């Protein structure tokens, strides 16, 4: 629950930050007199010297109104911005770049709002479980036991092959040198047999841990009464199994980490012994450092337009911020669909997957006034660049999350 509360706090903070960046100009009327802030003469809605609103409220109701507005940030500019962001992103970005900004939410403000909203939603949907009765659990258990039985048979064969390979190596006369092809081949055969035997033993341990996890889940299952009598139900999640396997593997030394820094490797291995805490720290780091996506993406955008005149890094930043905002909203829709309409989740994800390149195409086409061909080939490269940028970002937050 602490994770959900922190995510909620982050969402509220982001809303307030977005409100501060995209200052509120609603509901002010002309005031005459001296500015309470700087003392300059006022003749209008705002002070011409310091920019403070001329009409200041001192009611609790207005404070609540501003608080809710800061969180939700849905004034008239939002209703102008969001539809364009979703369906005419090129028009929105082109208008903002070329000076039509007062009626739209700024790229940075909507980026803050949508990204933190995404993590807020993920905090509640990330821990979803799949309900199953004991009959389904028993089927999974039988499959796991059959798998481990097969692995044990294969492990026995691997052990026998290892003994035979060692016997063949021992049978080679001592007069045969180490670099002799006969001894080299026998040594390689032993090394391969040892690796196979170790792999089989590790696979057996993994499946045995899976069985142990399922047994604990079933043993702790609550009892409910159904129409056909008493049935035992439980909640089975692959996440529980995964966490358990990672923790056991980390404690057993089966996970190897090699970043080039021994102190960093040690910290990562220590964190992996408590996978739930490690995932929480990675999530925490992801939304704290989500802004890194912008500087990571800018060099790739620059490469796409390096020879095009009149295009600045500011233009690229606006495109990136609005694009990331749209992607965040897509992920929010996907997460809510998984929670409330699981039956159409795969169909929804197909639509979302298709929407990403289509949105990119129309976004850069309109934002940079490109021809259809120029926009098409740039979209293809941009998809590749997105994968590279996201890979760098995820690598950064995993390292920061596990070593912080």
Q: Within a 10 A sphere around the Cβ of 156, how many other Cβ atoms? A: 12
- Domain assignment present for residue 402? The answer is yes
What tens digit of pLDDT does each residue of 365-385 get? 999 999 999 999 999 999 999
- Note whether 280 and 253 are within 8 A (CB): no
- Domain assignment present for residue 165? The answer is yes
- Residues 113, 12: Cα–Cα separation, whole Å: 9
- Residues 141, 333: Cα–Cα separation, whole Å: 34
Residues 273 and 395 in one domain: yes
pLDDT above 90 (res 85): yes
Q: How far is CA 270 from CA 251, 262, 381, 394, in A?
A: 9, 12, 39, 20
pLDDT above 60 (res 173): yes
Q: Which domain holds residue 147?
A: 130-236
Q: What is the pLDDT of residue 84?
A: 93
- Domain assignment present for residue 380? The answer is yes
Q: What is the per-residue burial (b if ≥16 Cβ within 10 Å, else e) of 299-319?
A: ebbeebbeeeeebeeebbbbb
- Domain assignment present for residue 359? The answer is yes
- Domain assignment present for residue 47? The answer is no
Mean pLDDT, the chain, rounded, equals 77
Strands 130-133 and 31-34: unpaired
- Note whether 342 and 128 are within 8 A (CB): no
Residues 203 and 344 in one domain: no
- Residues 82, 92: Cα–Cα separation, whole Å: 9
What tens digit of pLDDT does each residue of 335-359 get? 888 777 666 767 777 888 889 999 9
What tens digit of pLDDT does each residue of 218-236 get? 665 555 545 554 454 445 4
Q: What is the pLDDT of residue 52?
A: 76
Confidence of residue 129 (pLDDT cuts 50, 70, 90): very low
CA angle 36, 38, 43 (to 5 degrees): 70
- Domain assignment present for residue 3? The answer is no
- Domain assignment present for residue 313? The answer is yes
For residue 259, report the phi and psi dihedrals to the nearest 5 degrees: -90, -10
Of the ranges 150-159, 229-238, 253-262, 311-320, which one carries the lowest mean pLDDT score? 229-238
State the distance between the two ends of the chain, measured CA to CA, in whole angstroms. Answer: 22
What tens digit of pLDDT does each residue of 98-117 get? 888 878 888 988 888 888 88
Residues 352 and 270 in one domain: yes
- Domain assignment present for residue 60? The answer is no
- Residues 160, 270: Cα–Cα separation, whole Å: 36
Q: What is the pLDDT of residue 126?
A: 55
Residues 318 and 215 in one domain: no
For 341-369, the three-class secondary structure string (H helix, E strand, C coil) is: CHHHHHHHHHHHHHHHHHHHHHHHHHHCC
Q: What is the pLDDT of residue 131?
A: 43
Domain count for the chain, please give it: 2
pTM: 0.64
Residues 389 and 351 in one domain: yes
- Residues 113, 15: Cα–Cα separation, whole Å: 6
pLDDT above 60 (res 24): no
What tens digit of pLDDT does each residue of 277-328 get? 777 778 778 877 888 888 999 999 999 999 888 899 999 999 999 999 999 9
Confidence of residue 2 (pLDDT cuts 50, 70, 90): very low
Q: Higher model confidence: residue 256 or residue 135?
A: 256
Residues 277 and 266 in one domain: yes
Of the ranges 174-183, 214-223, 383-392, 393-402, which one carries the lowest mean pLDDT score? 214-223
Domain boundary residue, one of 221, 236, 251: 236
Residues 209 and 173 in one domain: yes
Q: What is the pLDDT of residue 207?
A: 78
Residues 350 and 275 in one domain: yes
Q: What DSSP letter does each residue of 15-32 carry, written as one string?
A: HHHHHHHS----S---EE
Residues 205 and 92 in one domain: no
Domain boundary residue, one of 236, 251, 282: 236
Residues 313 and 388 in one domain: yes
Domain boundary residue, one of 182, 203, 236: 236
Of the ranges 63-72, 325-334, 379-388, which one carries the lowest mean pLDDT score? 63-72
Residues 90 and 185 in one domain: no
Residues 114 and 141 in one domain: no
């Amino acid at each position: 629950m602490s994770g959900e509360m922190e995510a909620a706090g982050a969402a509220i903070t982001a809303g307030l930050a977005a409100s501060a960046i995209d200052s509120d100009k609603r509901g002010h009327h002309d005031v005459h007199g001296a500015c309470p802030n700087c003392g300059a003469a006022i003749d209008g809605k705002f002070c011409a010297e310091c920019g403070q609103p001329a009409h200041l409220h001192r009611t609790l109701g207005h404070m609540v109104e501003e608080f809710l507005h800061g969180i939700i940030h849905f004034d008239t500019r939002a209703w102008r911005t969001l539809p364009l962001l979703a369906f005419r992103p090129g028009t929105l970005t082109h208008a903002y770049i070329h000076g039509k900004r007062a009626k739209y939410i700024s790229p940075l403000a909507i980026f803050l709002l949508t990204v933190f909203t995404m993590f807020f939603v993920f905090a509640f949907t990330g821990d979803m479980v799949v309900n199953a009765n004991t009959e389904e659990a028993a089927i999974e258990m039988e499959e796991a036991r059959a798998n481990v039985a097969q692995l044990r048979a294969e492990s026995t064969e691997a052990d026998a092959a290892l003994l035979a390979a060692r016997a063949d190596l021992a049978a080679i006369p001592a007069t045969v040198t180490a670099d002799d092809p006969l001894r080299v081949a026998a040594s390689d055969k032993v090394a391969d047999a040892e690796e196979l035997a170790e792999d089989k033993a590790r696979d057996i341990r993994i499946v045995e841990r899976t069985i142990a996890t399922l047994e604990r889940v079933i043993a702790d299952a609550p009892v409910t009464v159904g129409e056909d009598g008493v049935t035992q139900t439980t909640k089975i999640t692959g996440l529980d199994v995964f966490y358990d396997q990672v923790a056991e593997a980390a404690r057993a030394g089966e996970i190897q980490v090699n970043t080039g820094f021994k102190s960093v490797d040690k910290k990562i291995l220590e964190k992996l012994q408590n996978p739930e805490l490690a995932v929480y720290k990675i999530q925490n780091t992801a939304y704290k450092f989500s802004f890194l996506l912008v500087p990571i993406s800018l060099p790739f955008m620059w490469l796409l337009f390096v020879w095009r005149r009149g295009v600045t890094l500011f233009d690229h930043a606006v495109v990136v911020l609005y694009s990331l905002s749209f992607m965040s909203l897509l992920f929010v829709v996907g997460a809510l669909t998984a929670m409330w309409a699981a039956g159409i989740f795969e169909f929804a994800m197909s639509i979302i997957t298709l929407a990403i390149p289509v949105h990119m195409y129309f976004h850069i086409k309109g934002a940079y006034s490109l021809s259809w061909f120029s926009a098409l080939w740039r979209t293809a490269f941009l998809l590749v660049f997105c994968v590279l940028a996201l890979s760098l970002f995820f690598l950064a937050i995993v390292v920061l999350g596990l070593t912080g």
